[in-house]
Amino acid sequence: MRVEFDALEYGGDGRFAPVRCVFEGDTEAGWTVLRNGAAHLTLGAGYRLLRVISCGVCSTDLARRFLPFPLPQITGHEVLAEDEEGRRCVVEINASHLARGEVGECPFCRGGLATHCPERLVLGIHDLPGGFGPWILAPRNAVLPLPDEIPDDAGVLVEPLAAALNAVDRIQARAGETIAVLGPRRLGMLVVAALAARRNAGGCDFRILALARHPHLLDLASRFGATDLRLVEGGGTALPDGLADVVIDTTGNPEAFELAIRLARREVHLKSTHGQPAGGVEHLTEFVVDELRLAPFAELEAEEAPELPRPLCCVVGDTEQFSRAIRPVNGREEAAIMPRGQILLRHDADVGNSPLLRAVRDRGLQLSSSRCGDFRSALDLLGRDAGLREIGARLITHRFPAANMAHAFEVAAAPDCVKAVIEH
């Protein structure tokens, strides 16, 4: 099989440039990717050729140049596509051994951590060409059919909805708590919807507080299930300390992260992958990529873990040790501990000027994180909830042809855009 196409690829300067691509091969023999006539990428067996219908623009896309992965690249990972038979499908983004159908001896893929496989590629983020181009190569076990009752506009949101559900499940909201979503916009609005869905289905009564800088986003959050609304004016200085039990930060803004630290009583859950220092420490994007947790030393929670060549937790005593626990070797995307492990801060730690580490040491605050979620769980929820299936019609505010990527990114970053989608 061979397809040849033109696309726009994202460069290290945040701009787009035209590229001519060729995908040649098949699922069993593997694929060769040519870029402007030169060999660019060789993929083994286990990838299917799909035609892209549409692809959402998210905060990770807007901040792609700050992430520790090679550029230029055809980006985009919130994909709705058609398979070889013309059937609609969605694509989980991690091309692990398990996703390609070749688990072998990989302890991550065998141990339930396939999305953290150290040899994975990531659609539209790490090497694998993404959905802002008209064709993608998707791991065969990551391609899921989209049920007929789910419209296209909801289908293109399955990836961020799954990520939102993952965040909601990991914080384990308790009855009577207030769970705040800071920055309910692209991903944050889906977090509000996921919280409401879990609250309604599980019978756990907690309040959902939406915190936004724009009134129209608060109005929309109320329609997605928020029970309380607060306008964030300026830097949020008027908001009281400890406003919520848990704050889920979806802003993609380092300054907003410091606000989340101040507003949270027991936990901040970080969803932002903006690639910049925040909270007085480095490598928080990598912290999210590995879905790590930071807690006071006394908060160690024993749990059964897969057998991996890394420990479950480590103890740190200052900001440098914290950063080195996340990425101990420059240029190597591997933490000192296993994915979803814990970093424990000593009670006498030197926190320097870090408001994050100071809050953990002095107030017992915890920082948790998450990224990709279970697509099957998201599809099941959409299948059972007719109201939620209209989420795309309410959330998508702007649509652009793939030839207009620069303008799409400019609009997607503007306050009046909730969700932008690229259509092929």
**What is the extent of the structural domain holding 239?**
160-369
Residue 92 lies in a domain: yes
Q: How confident is the model at residue 303 (pLDDT cuts 50, 70, 90)?
A: low
- Residue 309 confidence (pLDDT) above 70: no
Check whether residue 289 and residue 341 sit in a common domain.
yes
Together in a domain, 220 and 322: yes
- Compute the distance between CA of residue 28 and CA of residue 337 in angstroms, rounded to an integer: 35
Once rounded to an integer, what is the mean pLDDT over residues 16-28? 97
189 and 294 fall within a common domain: yes
> Alpha helices of 172-268 — where are they, by DSSP H?
186-202, 215-224, 254-263
Instruction: Give the C-alpha separation, 182 to 196, whole Å.
Output: 15
Last residue within a domain, chosen from 348, 369, 390: 369
pLDDT at 301 over 60: no
In the chain, count H helices and then E strands: 14, 22
pLDDT given for residue 104 in this prediction? 80
Q: Residue 93 corresponds to which amino acid? A: I
- Examine the domain organization and report whether 114 and 259 are in the same domain: no
Does the pLDDT value for residue 302 go beyond 70? no
Band (373; pLDDT cuts 50, 70, 90): very high
In Å, how far from its chain's centre is CA 332? 20
pLDDT the model gives residue 305: 55
The per-residue pLDDT for 331 is 78
User: Of 350 and 279, which is predicted with more confidence?
Assistant: 350
Tell me: pLDDT of 205 over 60.
yes
Name the domain count of the chain.
2
Q: Note the pLDDT of residue 299.
A: 53
pTM of the model: 0.93
Is the pLDDT assigned to residue 140 strictly greater than 70?
Answer: yes
Are 194 and 291 found together in one domain? yes
The residue from 340, 369, 398 where one domain ends is 369
Same domain? 171 vs 125 = no
% of residues, the chain, pLDDT over 90? 83
Domain boundary among 146, 178, 198: 146
Predicted local confidence at residue 330, as pLDDT: 84
pLDDT greater than 70 at residue 358: yes
Question: What is the average pLDDT value for the chain, to the nearest integer?
Answer: 93
H or E stretch including 43? strand 38-43
Q: Is residue 380 part of a domain?
A: no
Domain harbouring 33, CATH code: 3.90.180.10
Residues 173 and 270 in one domain: yes
The answer to whether residues 42 and 96 belong to one domain is yes
Quick one: 227 and 288 in the same domain?
Answer: yes
pLDDT reported for residue 188: 94
Is residue 165 included in any domain, yes or no?
yes
Per-residue burial over 149-177, b if 16 or more Cβ lie within 10 Å, else e, is: ebbbbbbbbbbbbbbbbbbbebbebeeeb
Per-residue pLDDT at 254? 87
* Per-residue pLDDT, 415: 87
**Does residue 202 have a pLDDT over 90?**
no
**What is the rounded average pLDDT of the residues 27-41?**
96
Q: Between 234 and 227, whose confidence is greater?
A: 227
Task: In whole angstroms, give the CA distance from residue 23 to residue 14.
Answer: 25
